[in-house]
Chains A and B, each alone.
Chain A
């Protein structure tokens, strides 16, 4: 799956989870940048990504998560 395709699918997931069409996942975007992105929606987001991409994150990977770009790299690695 190309990086563009991952971002396209991620955008759909973000819109569903945050219920806000203006939130666009960019490489630099972080939890602090989105008002609804709290600890509860973060879990929903991760589980949604795991379900939709059919992948599984390790506990330590999620502890180290920095921003959306980092997240997309991890997704790409798991899909390859």
Chain B
């Protein structure tokens, strides 16, 4: 990516005239068919050819960068073919990242959707192997355990059922249609053991009544609306994720998504022209299932959160607030950021400013929606932005690939893209009124569940800041830990905590011994099997409740050892002896189950080096290696509990 030579857009919004002259660059109709939040790559064609000639590691990086440029469906198909051709020599790298096996099943032509899905996933650094079901054979394939679908063993099943199939005949009632879908979901869950994504129904039918279509119960248009209405609760009951095609059509117009002449000609319900947008939406869900959604929004200040430059214009000179269109646009950015933080997205600031000037706006400007307490990490200094982004990730204990960076300045954006390609950097339009739409359209924060931990996250980061203050004022570690008055509550997995448990399994990267990802269905199956060990840990202290911060899953083996399949902990509570307390509980429980020894497994990933020697440090002995896994063994006779500075309460252990 080339750095733009265009001068930074700072100082563009001093006056009403200036803002007006900038004009709006509202995306044209054409560019709505593109991934308009991504930057153009003017040298696209040449970069594809260069990637095809590179060594595997470099090629993969170039392919990911190409997928992250503003491409249409033709370029998406072209890139997909280039990658498919390169597949044999990329496979080693790809297998190391464990591809997602996606079965694409439905009632009409779907072949044209696969490239967009694969490239959408590649955009997020995820490789997808797609299995395309036979035309219209979705029900038979799900029913038949001998089918190719079963041999494929999908991780995820995507059901794309067209509206004509679902309600095309007058006899097909809404209840029948929903029950038919539910039967498929249940078979997939019980027999294939995979996660299910159901596409909602495209509103393709013309009205027969008009504004009051709902008064004619047999109307196909009304039945589609009703199915879409009821399918939300039904999917939640069954643990199925939705791909909200009806919402895409509502946003872009059904004509963008469906072309009746193409339906007649080729039975494609989804228009090929938007197949890459469809694929990007599917990929968002796949990435979210993998725990790859972004976690943190890093905001620039000048001309991003307010108009103007606080250091030059002063507190009274910046444009922010009611009565001025530009000021209101920046307020809307703050409002959206605050709403995201309430949903569990961490907010950070990276701004080239004297810290005192930057803080003054937060503390004194009456129109500010965001307060200093909403920002988990506030970096206002004169270092370059990539260094600041690295620093923010380190302070928050999250990966650099969890960050989204928002800056009005094209120079800063391009610098970050070049230095830290793993950071998501949307190509903000010039008009601040469109910033929110751009951030939202990019779908970086795709979420599948809201847990109480999500809603409390802002509070938890504030508590962390309070703990840091206490630690700085306390001289030695034991005194500090004792002063926290920690309480670790341990219990078995339960339904109430299931959403959080699945989220932790799929999101935790650093303190995670095996990084095995499980779907909710897999967790539920695992915990009812005989000899299973499953423990959740919640940590409280004098500053509040940290929520569920750790999990252990294991199972008794015939040789009388207890194998620890999964051990993970949130990095929020590192350095507080929680891991030692967890092991104490595991040992106690294992003895109760009659185990003679614990066997721990370590599987190295790019991110879990911090726990490489964890078992060794707890006195486990090396007990062999196989297929990238290192085994560690600890006899329970010789196990001595570690003293920890916390009260431990255990529920549900006999």
B272:A43 contact, CB within 8 angstroms: yes
CB-CB contacts below 8 Å: A35-68 with B:
39-40, 43-44, 47-48, 51-52, 54, 58-59, 62
A29 beta carbon closer than 8 Å to chain B: no
A13 beta carbon closer than 8 Å to chain B: yes
5 contacts between A and B (CB under 8 A): A16-B78, A43-B265, A47-B73, A47-B271, A58-B261
A19:B78 contact, CB within 8 angstroms: yes
- The 8 A CB mask of B96-118 against A (1 = contact, 0 = none) is 00000000000001011000000
Interface size class of B (residues with CB under 8 A): 20 to 34
B77: which of A16, A51, A54, A62 is its contact (CB, 8 Å)?
A16
B261:A59 contact, CB within 8 angstroms: yes
CB-defined contacts of B638 to chain A, threshold 8 Å: none
CB-defined contacts of B74 to chain A, threshold 8 Å: 13, 16-17, 44, 48, 51-52
Q: Give 4 A-B pairs besides A16-B75, A16-B78, A47-B271 with Cβ atoms closer than 8 angstroms.
A: A17-B77, A19-B82, A40-B111, A58-B261
B266 beta carbon closer than 8 Å to chain A: yes
Once the chains are docked, how many angstroms separate the CA of A52 from the CA of B75? 12
B262:A43 contact, CB within 8 angstroms: yes
A51:B261 contact, CB within 8 angstroms: no
B264 beta carbon closer than 8 Å to chain A: yes
CB distance from B273 to the nearest CB of A (A): 6
B112: which of A13, A19, A40, A51 is its contact (CB, 8 Å)?
A40
Question: What's the dominant secondary structure at chain A's contact region?
Answer: helix
Once the chains are docked, how many angstroms separate the CA of A17 from the CA of B74? 7
Once the chains are docked, how many angstroms separate the CA of A13 from the CA of B78? 10
A47: which of B81, B264, B272 is its contact (CB, 8 Å)?
B272
CB-defined contacts of B536 to chain A, threshold 8 Å: none
CB distance from A39 to the nearest CB of B (A): 7
Contacts A43-B272, A44-B272; is A59 near B77 (CB within 8 Å)?
no
CB-CB contacts below 8 Å: B260-276 with A:
261-262, 264-266, 268, 271-273
B302 beta carbon closer than 8 Å to chain A: no
CB distance from A77 to the nearest CB of B (A): 18
CB-defined contacts of A62 to chain B, threshold 8 Å: 265
CB-CB contacts below 8 Å: B17-43 with A:
30, 33
CB-defined contacts of A17 to chain B, threshold 8 Å: 74, 77
Closest residue of A by beta carbon distance from B29: A54
Question: What's the dominant secondary structure at chain B's contact region?
Answer: helix
A59:B273 contact, CB within 8 angstroms: no
Once the chains are docked, how many angstroms separate the CA of A51 from the CA of B82? 22
CB distance from B305 to the nearest CB of A (A): 38
CB-defined contacts of A40 to chain B, threshold 8 Å: 109, 111-112, 266
- The 8 A CB mask of A5-44 against B (1 = contact, 0 = none) is 0000000010011010000000000000000000110011
Interface size of A in residues (CB-CB distance below 8 Å): 16
B77:A44 contact, CB within 8 angstroms: yes
CB-CB contacts below 8 Å: B42-91 with A:
72-75, 77-78, 81-82
Q: Nearest 5 CB-CB pairs, A to B?
A: A19-B81, A47-B272, A43-B266, A59-B261, A16-B74
Once the chains are docked, how many angstroms separate the CA of A40 from the CA of B111? 8
**Chain A interface (Cβ within 8 Å of chain B)?**
13, 16-17, 19, 39-40, 43-44, 47-48, 51-52, 54, 58-59, 62
CB-CB contacts below 8 Å: B272-319 with A:
272-273
A59:B72 contact, CB within 8 angstroms: no
Once the chains are docked, how many angstroms separate the CA of A65 from the CA of B636? 78
CB distance from A61 to the nearest CB of B (A): 10
CB-CB contacts below 8 Å: B232-265 with A:
261-262, 264-265
CB-defined contacts of B30 to chain A, threshold 8 Å: 54
CB-defined contacts of A13 to chain B, threshold 8 Å: 74
CB-defined contacts of A16 to chain B, threshold 8 Å: 74-75, 77-78
A59: which of B73, B82, B265 is its contact (CB, 8 Å)?
B265
Closest residue of A by beta carbon distance from B259: A47
CB distance from B372 to the nearest CB of A (A): 48
B78:A44 contact, CB within 8 angstroms: no
CB-defined contacts of A44 to chain B, threshold 8 Å: 74, 77, 112, 272
Once the chains are docked, how many angstroms separate the CA of A36 from the CA of B78? 13
Once the chains are docked, how many angstroms separate the CA of A43 from the CA of B77? 13
Closest residue of A by beta carbon distance from B268: A43
A51:B266 contact, CB within 8 angstroms: no
Once the chains are docked, how many angstroms separate the CA of A58 from the CA of B259? 12
Once the chains are docked, how many angstroms separate the CA of A17 from the CA of B80? 11
B78:A51 contact, CB within 8 angstroms: no
CB-defined contacts of B261 to chain A, threshold 8 Å: 58-59
Contacts A16-B74, A16-B77, A40-B112; is A51 near B268 (CB within 8 Å)?
no
CB-defined contacts of A52 to chain B, threshold 8 Å: 74
Closest residue of B by beta carbon distance from A36: B81
Once the chains are docked, how many angstroms separate the CA of A51 from the CA of B30? 9
Closest residue of A by beta carbon distance from B260: A59
Closest residue of A by beta carbon distance from B264: A59
Contacts A16-B77, A43-B272; is A51 near B72 (CB within 8 Å)?
yes
Once the chains are docked, how many angstroms separate the CA of A45 from the CA of B404? 36
CB-CB contacts below 8 Å: B122-165 with A:
none
A51:B33 contact, CB within 8 angstroms: yes
Once the chains are docked, how many angstroms separate the CA of A54 from the CA of B266? 21
CB-defined contacts of B272 to chain A, threshold 8 Å: 43-44, 47
Once the chains are docked, how many angstroms separate the CA of A51 from the CA of B75? 12
B112:A43 contact, CB within 8 angstroms: yes
CB-defined contacts of B111 to chain A, threshold 8 Å: 40
Once the chains are docked, how many angstroms separate the CA of A48 from the CA of B275? 12
CB-defined contacts of B265 to chain A, threshold 8 Å: 43, 59, 62
CB distance from B382 to the nearest CB of A (A): 45
CB distance from B79 to the nearest CB of A (A): 10
Once the chains are docked, how many angstroms separate the CA of A17 from the CA of B262? 18
Closest residue of B by beta carbon distance from A63: B265
CB distance from A16 to the nearest CB of B (A): 5
CB distance from B541 to the nearest CB of A (A): 58
Once the chains are docked, how many angstroms separate the CA of A32 from the CA of B572? 63
CB-defined contacts of A39 to chain B, threshold 8 Å: 266
Once the chains are docked, how many angstroms separate the CA of A14 from the CA of B342? 49
CB-defined contacts of B109 to chain A, threshold 8 Å: 40
CB distance from B539 to the nearest CB of A (A): 54
CB-defined contacts of B262 to chain A, threshold 8 Å: 43, 47
Closest residue of B by beta carbon distance from A39: B266
